[in-house]
Amino acid sequence: LPSGGAMIALQASEAEVAPDLSETVGVAAVNGPSSVVISGAVADVEAVAERWRAAGRKVSRLKVSHAFHSPLMDPMLDDFRAVLEEVEFGEPVVPIVSTLTGAQVRAEELASPEYWVRHVRESVRFADAVGTLSGEGVDTFVEVGPGGTLAALGQETAPEAAFVPVLRADRPEESALVSAVARLCTRGVTVDWAAFFAGSGARRVDLPTYAFQRRRYWVDVRPHTGDVTAVGLGATDHPLLGAAIELGDTDGVLLTGRLSVQTHPWLADYVVRGSVLLPGTAFVELAVRAGDRVGCDLVEELTLEAPLVVPERGGVRVQVWVSAEDESGRRELTFFSNAGDTDDDRPWTRNATAVLRTGAHSTGVALAEWPPTGAEAVDLVGFYDEAAETGFGYGPVFQGLRAAWRRGDEVFAEVALPEGVSAEGFGLHPALLDAAFHAIERPGDLGRLPFAWSGVRLYASGATVLRVRLTPSGPDEVSLTVADGAGAPVATVDSLVLRPVPLDQLTGGGHGDALFGVDWVPVPLADADAPTIGWTDLEALTDLRSDYVVVRCPVTSASGSASDPVSAAHEAAHWALDVVQRWLSEERSDAARLVVVTGGAVAVADDGDVRDVAQAAVWGLVRSAQLENPDRFVLVDLDDEAASLEALPVALATGEPQFALRSGALY
């Protein structure tokens, strides 16, 4: 065929387009009641399309090399027929509805060369074929192909039917196929499950004879595995990431996820100085996955700026931003994190930055000889016990160092994931790679973590056992060659710099605990005139001649039944509730504020103690009353020193709703 020709999809019916056809333009396909494709000479096809474009119809040119199913196919038909006459045709074993005629085709027709000559030249009557099947009662269609184009087109002809593509362009083939089979099963299609699960060890089990009755009470803390496409996101299929979105008009991408020790329990095994950290190897893993997403196979450099602390309770949101490609072919990558599960105005922390690009082709380095010749074994007995004493609490998942050897400056390590820990979904499991670093430091020297990476390449994924060669390349710097348990290449790292742990950035409980912190700071006493106050008791709350009516909690931890602090706390809380309710029920109290005084109910200093836990309950109750009734209550805690009692009127003049007086000083 000569090159050239064009095919254009139009939002129109076949009857509407028919008057526009000519000797050089034909209908290549009828895909739906209002969806056709015209095909032929470029200028003539464009002229037809322009008329429909001017009429406000949708027009889309197809990316094709020739004008298929058009008059421009005529020069090849005789040669095509000659080839077909040499072909031996078989008889179909299932009924076939032809997209040439739109009806069921007979076996003798399919054995005719002329049928296939017409098929390559005439219109594809896809809509007619779908209509025929739908009219015969078919309500489930399966598209076997590389995407879901036909499934989308078929819905125009049979809107009540289900169209199931077995593959999707935006999903991994295996998960797309399994999802399709599952959907077909729910539509009543018979699935050969024995063949599907062959070799997997799956077996049938009896179901209860009654309907499932279940009511869930607990919050589901498992990672989200739903269809993120429903909210415009793409799937990532990575254990540390939940979704991805292409950034419009920028060629960039954003990957997001949520981490917690509840959804990712293995993270709790990486404890440094009392804080659960995301390992530096996890940043590398995420950078590699982000590179895969945008077609970059080399992490040129990656630098950690701040540790990512995983809180004991709740989670931390992570974002991996990948920029558009610059003139040199590089992309900038940035890691951000934010404690909590919702947008609550907390600032985002930039944890790391990286540069991605496409690297020179490399097949990696094998480590076939193992252990290496001339290397001396290293004694690892007691290693992890000593590490824990220095503040590095590696749990079982991160205790993967099985053996180590030294040969001059080189160190060789064999590491493995514990039984039951899956590497599925990871390029290189962070715990597996992190364990290799344990071979280059003795516990007495521990205190360094991965800081800066250069030249990271991953050649194979899914390894559960590694052979690693670590070669010093400078002060606190090593290069890595990584192979699997058989010695086949897995990864290489040109340079890794280790730095001491930044203790000032570790918060023990993580950023998530910041919500529960209370700092008591000194407040200068006001110069304003002190208000009038009146001391009273529960029975005399109607004496409202003062600006502030002061009532003191008479219950202490020592006044409960048999000095029982629990009973005392109950008694104090009931007392406070009675006081609050009486005060709010008194209409004249609107002109004054009730001051509830406790003694030793709060600790002002970090090393201070709550001396009276019963009266601490009073603070909790009255704080709730303050939220519901602003400007009606004041909470004061005294230390019973004369200076504090004398300073109370002046302290009230500051307008603070809650404060403590210690030796006359206001907090």
What tokens does 99 get? 């997209």
Q: Looking at the predicted structure, is the pLDDT value of residue 347 above 90? A: no
pTM: 0.47
**H-helix or E-strand containing 593?**
strand 593-599
Q: Which of 26-40, 493-507, 582-596 reaches the highest mean pLDDT?
A: 26-40
| Least confident interval from 370-384, 431-445, 469-483, 519-533 | 519-533
Give yes or no for a contact between 81 and 117, defined as CB atoms under 8 angstroms apart.
yes
Please count the other Cβ atoms lying within 10 Å of the Cβ belonging to residue 502.
14
Look up tokens 């399709």; give the residue.
180
pLDDT in tens, 540-585: 665 556 678 889 998 887 765 445 788 889 999 999 999 999 888 8
Q: Looking at the predicted structure, is the pLDDT value of residue 348 above 70? A: yes
Q: Give the C-alpha distances (Å, rounded to integers) separating 228 from 164, 258, 434, 528.
A: 18, 14, 31, 59
Length of the chain: 667
pLDDT at 30: 96
Q: Looking at the predicted structure, is the pLDDT value of residue 445 above 60? A: no
pLDDT band (50, 70, 90) for residue 233? low
Q: Give the C-alpha distances (Å, rounded to integers) separating 427 from 237, 240, 464.
A: 11, 11, 11
Distance between CA 276 and CA 268 in Å, rounded?
6
Strand, coil or helix: what is 150? helix
pLDDT at 542: 55
Distance between CA 292 and CA 238 in Å, rounded?
12
* Count of CA atoms in the C-beta half-sphere (13 A) of 313: 4
pLDDT at 442: 56
| H-assigned helices in 393-484 | 430-437
Strand, coil or helix: what is 234? strand
The residue type of 342 is T
pLDDT in tens, 187-232: 889 999 889 998 888 888 887 776 666 666 655 444 444 555 545 5
Would you give the DSSP letter of residue 342? Answer: S
pLDDT in tens, 119-151: 999 999 999 999 999 999 999 999 999 888 899
pLDDT band (50, 70, 90) for residue 508? very low
| Least confident interval from 461-475, 500-514, 606-620 | 500-514
Distance between CA 244 and CA 233 in Å, rounded?
6
DSSP collapsed to 3 states, 409-431: CEEEEEEECCCCCCCCCCCCCHH
Please count the other Cβ atoms lying within 10 Å of the Cβ belonging to residue 118.
14
| H-assigned helices in 217-331 | 280-294
pLDDT at 355: 95
pLDDT band (50, 70, 90) for residue 185? very high
Closest CA to 311 of 512, 542, 129, 143: 512
Neighbouring-strand partners of residue 643: none
The residue type of 48 is V
Please count the other Cβ atoms lying within 10 Å of the Cβ belonging to residue 395.
18
DSSP collapsed to 3 states, 566-584: HHHHHHHHHHHHHHHHHHH
Region of residue 513 (phi > 0: left; psi between -120 and 50: alpha; otherwise: beta) = alpha
In the chain, what percentage of residues exceed pLDDT 90? 49
Look up tokens 């504090």; give the residue.
644
Neighbouring-strand partners of residue 470: 411, 480
**What is the average per-residue pLDDT within 439-447?**
61
Please count the other Cβ atoms lying within 10 Å of the Cβ belonging to residue 37.
24
Please count the other Cβ atoms lying within 10 Å of the Cβ belonging to residue 163.
17
Closest CA to 548 of 529, 531, 568: 531
* 248 vs 583, more confident: 583
Query: How far apart are the two ends of the chain, measured CA to CA in Å?
Result: 90
Give burial (CB, 10 Å; 0-12/13-18/19+) of 156. middle
What tokens does 353 get? 């930055």
